[in-house]
């Protein structure tokens, strides 16, 4: 088992060096997300300062299908495998986190104050995320929620930003089960490309485009019924005390930023008239 890890580490290190060289050719302000729909990604759970100029990042490695994966997380010259208890660290020793998890500590920043997190999973393109742990342009957090329901099936609403997907599921309109909302994702501030898609027996819709996230702010993509049809609202919301907060429905904590019209992408059993606002318990 150890030989497999060592061999994989050599391959990943070579890829990481090549990627790092390409990053170094960009200007310090050119902070970009190179992950694509075919890339692995890191879901960041927390970023904390461990000492002056040094940080600890805890998160999970996911594959291109947003599924927890056995792979390698690399940042600031430190790395660890995410294959469950006993996974080795590049600097020696092993980790006891659950499958998919990683914990990197004592991380210095780049000259511009950012930390570059890279992920490598077999069968996936390498993933890369740039985060600002303290100062500079800061970070933003976001999640997704659907306020709609379908009369004859569940509604699945998914939004992807920077290679990370957040999904919200509402049950049938006559089912009082609360709609789900996943924890907040962390990303760098600035312009972001996003895609959102919805699937139910009532309709299949999508919307994509560019939105801007401000530093130290939190956002929610909220699917609603407006003028008889579904649209996505990008909302500014009060930042929760933890990224793991799943409930955020207070009206006084939400400000509408923009309305993003959705387009039909597939056949539906009937018109969008079957879709309606979900009444939460």
| Domain ranges for the chain | 2-131, 139-270
Instruction: Provide the pLDDT confidence category of residue 26 given band limits of 50, 70 and 90.
Output: very low
Structure tokens at 83: 């294959």
- Identify which has the larger pLDDT, 243 or 192: 192
DSSP bridge pairs for 42:
61
pLDDT digits (tens, 9 = 90+) for 172-195: 999 999 999 988 888 878 888 899
In this prediction, residue 281 carries a pLDDT of: 64
Name the nearest CA neighbour of 30 among 116, 109, 97: 116
Mean pLDDT of the chain: 79
Dihedral sign, Cα of residue 128, residue 134, residue 137, residue 141? positive
Q: CA 97 from chain center: how many Å?
A: 20
Q: CA 42 from chain center: how many Å?
A: 8
Name the nearest CA neighbour of 68 among 46, 34, 45, 36: 45
The answer to whether the beta carbons of residues 190 and 226 sit under 8 Å apart is: no
pLDDT digits (tens, 9 = 90+) for 220-240: 999 999 988 899 999 998 876
201 Cβ neighbours under 8 A, 6+ residues apart: 150, 152, 153, 268, 269
pTM: 0.54
Coil/strand/helix, residue 234:
strand
CA distance 96 to 139: 29
CA distance 57 to 71: 16
State mean pLDDT over 71-90. Answer: 94
Cα separation values, 176 from 145, 180, 278, Å: 16, 12, 9
Coil/strand/helix, residue 116:
strand
Structure tokens at 40: 């692995």
27: pLDDT strictly greater than 50: no
Per-residue b or e along 84-96, where b marks 16 or more CB atoms closer than 10 Å to that residue's CB: eeebbebeeeebe
69: pLDDT strictly greater than 80: yes
**How does DSSP classify residue 12?**
H
The answer to whether the beta carbons of residues 121 and 40 sit under 8 Å apart is: yes
The domain covering 2-131 belongs, at the CATH homologous superfamily level, to Immunoglobulins (2.60.40.10)
CA distance 278 to 260: 19
In this prediction, residue 19 carries a pLDDT of: 40
CA distance 61 to 102: 7
Structure tokens at 28: 């310090």
Structure tokens at 134: 């303290």
Structure tokens at 266: 């597939």
CA distance 73 to 95: 12
**How does DSSP classify residue 201?**
S
């Amino acid at each position: 088992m150890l030989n497999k890890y060592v061999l994989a580490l050599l391959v990943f290190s070579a890829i990481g060096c090549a990627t790092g060289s390409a990053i170094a050719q960009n200007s310090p302000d050119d902070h970009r997300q190179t992950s694509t729909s075919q890339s692995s990604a890191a879901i960041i759970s927390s970023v904390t300062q461990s000492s002056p100029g040094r940080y600890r990042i805890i998160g999970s490695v996911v594959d291109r299908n947003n599924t927890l994966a056995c792979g390698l997380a690399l940042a600031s010259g430190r790395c660890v495998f995410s294959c469950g208890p006993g996974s080795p660290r590049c600097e020696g020793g092993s980790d006891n986190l659950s499958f998919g998890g990683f914990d990197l500590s004592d991380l210095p920043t780049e000259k511009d104050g950012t930390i570059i997190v890279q992920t490598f999973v077999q069968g996936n393109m390498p993933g890369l995320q740039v985060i600002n742990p303290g100062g500079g342009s800061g970070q933003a957090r976001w999640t997704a929620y659907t306020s709609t329901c379908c009369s004859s099936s569940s509604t699945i609403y998914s939004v992807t930003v920077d290679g990370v997907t957040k999904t919200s599921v509402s049950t049938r309109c006559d089912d009082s089960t609360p709609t789900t909302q996943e924890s907040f994702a962390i990303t760098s501030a600035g312009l972001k490309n996003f895609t959102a898609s919805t699937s139910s027996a009532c309709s299949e819709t999508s919307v994509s485009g560019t939105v801007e996230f401000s530093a130290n702010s939190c956002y929610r993509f909220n699917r609603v019924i407006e003028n008889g049809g579904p649209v996505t609202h990008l909302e500014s919301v009060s930042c929760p005390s933890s990224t793991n907060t799943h409930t955020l429905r207070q009206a006084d904590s939400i400000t509408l930023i923009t309305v993003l019209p959705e387009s039909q992408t597939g056949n539906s059993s009937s018109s969008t008239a079957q879709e309606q606002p979900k009444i939460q318990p």
